[in-house]
Amino acid sequence: MNNAASKVTVVGSGISGAVCACTLARNGISVTLFDSARGPGGRMSQRRETSEDGNEMLFDHGAPFFTVTNNDVLALVREWESGGLVAEWKVNLGSFDRVSKKFVNIQQDGMNKKYVGVPGMNSICKALCHQPGVESKFGVGVGRFEWLEDKNLWSVSGLDGQSLGQFNGVVASDKNVVSPRFRDVTGRPPPLDLTFAPDLAVKLEEIPVNPCFALMLAFSKPLSPIPVKGFSFQDSEVLSWAHCDSSKPGRSAHSERWVLHSTADYARTVIAQTGLQKPSEATLKKVAEEMFQEFQGTGLSIPLPIFRKAHRWYRRSNITCRGSAFPAASIAKEERCLWDVKKRLAICGDFCVSPNVEGAILSGLAAASKLTEILSCL
């Protein structure tokens, strides 16, 4: 079998899965991508909201930007930049010391290039998921993967049991597809049973994660007391990060929009009180109020916003809110992805290499390389 006749399914349309799918397609492999969400992006998603006066607002409520150190990733980013999908975010970042109420450790623009998707972080994933050779199916949850020994193929079915097709290889870029924790949240076994690959199953058993709440804010006027466009918080039990989303290239300047991220400890406390289910409106309103009060408590003369809404990043499945927790460990730094050669199964994501956008890209490239190599030999 040559590459042109090979079919691979990629589950998950975050940057790791999107990069993998596009790379496979460029190597002549037919790719079908499934994602239960309405669109691509994962933690690079862009949130669309409407203010009380009817104006549309967009927020990068997950990854605010990314940096690049690897040459392979840099080559991709330059390609995306030339295509208008990526631009450099030329701003100063720093930290805010809540004790002294001063900004410290301000990094001047140019020290480390910061890249963002244009006009949103999810623009990269959108483009990759619609490359020639990639058929993307959103709003489609995978219920089960089954290895057909007699056919040497994977059979994939949806949540309703209907067949989604047969494939020569599988890429799982959403770790919840194979995670034992899937049962804790959904009451059902994970779609992909890894009993045939106990070594991989062990690595995926306990990946520590950092839950997070994001608070999206819009103001009618610029927050002039803040001298930087992104900063971390020192000595805050509630807030870890804030950035001015509307300062990025290609964004609307109709209002000044900020995104705040909570600390993992604060998010864990809320989850311990409310449970794993999708948070109620009352919970999200309470979180929004507490996070905003902490923001105001900086003494930076923060006015009341014209828009305020919280979102929970915790765990992704078909019955919980969209959004996966941020990984707190890496399980395949050397290999960059988990791989079973006999069944042609790759598992990729930022949890394999490093918990950031660059790590996710590297893992997606590694998964594509493994499958391209083995499929060329069929």
Tens of pLDDT, residues 178-194: 876 676 667 778 899 99
Please tell me whether residue 175 adopts helix, strand or coil conformation.
Answer: helix
Q: How far apart are CA 194 and CA 204, in angstroms?
A: 10
Pairing of β 212-219 and β 338-340: unpaired
Segments in the chain below pLDDT 70:
1-5, 109-111, 180-181, 183-185, 315-325
Q: How far apart are CA 213 and CA 256, in angstroms?
A: 20
DSSP one-letter code for 279: P
Residue 378 pLDDT: 79
Q: Output the six-digit token pair for 232.
A: 């971390």
Say if CB 87 and CB 249 are below 8 A apart: yes
- Interaxial angle between packed helices 71-82 and 357-375, expressed in degrees from 0 to 180 and rounded to the nearest 10: 100
Q: What is the pTM of this model?
A: 0.93
Q: How far apart are CA 338 and CA 347, in angstroms?
A: 5
Q: How far apart are CA 149 and CA 21, in angstroms?
A: 25
Sign (positive or negative) of CA dihedral 307, 51, 64, 176: positive
* Helix, strand, coil share of the chain (percent; to 5): 25, 30, 45
Q: How far apart are CA 339 and CA 137, in angstroms?
A: 24
Would you tell me how many other CB atoms lie within 10 Å of the CB of residue 252? 12
Pairing of β 239-244 and β 230-234: antiparallel
All residues at 6 or more sequence positions from 48 whose CB lies less than 8 Å from its CB, including other chains = 56, 57, 58
Report which of 277, 270, 264, 273 is spatially closest to residue 211, judged by C-alpha positions.
Answer: 264
